[in-house]
Amino acid sequence: MTIRVLLADDQALVRAALRILLDSCDDMELVAEATCGGEAVALARVQRPDVVLMDIRVPGTDGVVATSEICADPAVPDTRVLILTTREIDARVADALRSGASGFLGKDVTADVLLDGIRTVASGDSLLSPLATRALINRFLVVPAADAPLITSEDLAAFTDRDREVVLRVAEGRSNAEIADRLDVSPDSVRTQVRRVMAQLGVRDRAQLAVLAHQSGLVRTQAPASC
């Protein structure tokens, strides 16, 4: 299957480099390029890409707002957003995760890491490194917004012990393979369980499940160290 990618970045040199990289991959196709968030939203509706590679700080409608509009648009239910940022531990990245982004990568990653990240997000998984995710949540996501959805007592009552364990590990940013190894089950079993829990809670993907678990108090977060 060819992964259809939409690129949103206002820097021509960055777009040119990423275009060359994507064109070198047999399993990816660059379907459109946007120079601002509003253009990215409009092109996503027309092109229906599998993944939007979104610079967090595109001009005009910024990357967070554009991410929110794309992820909430019923016309593109299968489109996932992967954030590119120069600062992984950033309030804007946290906002993007709240808005529906499936993960984030620093702009200093290698080409192989970026391509693997696109494939991961396209497959329906989230891209959350445990260290960066923990730091983001500790600094910016511990206290939920006033209108943020939370896991209710009724939801918890419907969880099995294995459900809780899987949710906790997803909230740590662990992959299916890592969770499977810890629980001594197959990665396919973990994938099935994660999808069932996400359907039960009405969340879009693993990134939103991780944020929801932290904001609902299921995960004990540590306060960030003082300077």
pLDDT of residue 201: 83
How large a percentage of the chain has pLDDT more than 90?
A: 39
Nearest to 203 by CA among 154, 151, 158, 157: 151
pLDDT of residue 227: 33
Which has more pLDDT, 139 or 5? 5
Nearest to 83 by CA among 59, 108, 56: 56
Banded model confidence at residue 225, pLDDT cuts 50, 70, 90: very low
Rounded to whole angstroms, the Cα distance separating 173 from 127 reads: 8
When computed from its CA atoms, the radius of gyration of the chain, rounded to whole angstroms, is 17
pTM: 0.73
Give me the chain's average pLDDT, please.
83
pLDDT per residue as tens digits for the range 150-184:
667 677 777 888 888 888 888 877 878 889 999 99
pLDDT per residue as tens digits for the range 32-70:
999 999 999 999 999 999 999 999 989 988 999 999 999
Q: Which residues share a beta bridge with 7?
A: 33, 53
Over range 181-205, report the average pLDDT.
Answer: 87
Nearest to 191 by CA among 123, 113, 116, 131: 123
- Domains identified in the chain and CATH numbers: 3-127 (3.40.50.2300), 146-215 (1.10.10.10)
Over range 17-39, report the average pLDDT.
Answer: 96
Look up tokens 């206002």; give the residue.
Answer: 10
pLDDT of residue 169: 87
Which has more pLDDT, 86 or 133? 86
Question: Alpha helices of the chain — where are they, by DSSP H?
Answer: 12-23, 37-47, 63-72, 91-99, 111-122, 130-136, 153-158, 161-171, 176-183, 187-201, 206-215
* Res. 31: pLDDT tops 50: yes
pLDDT of residue 99: 83
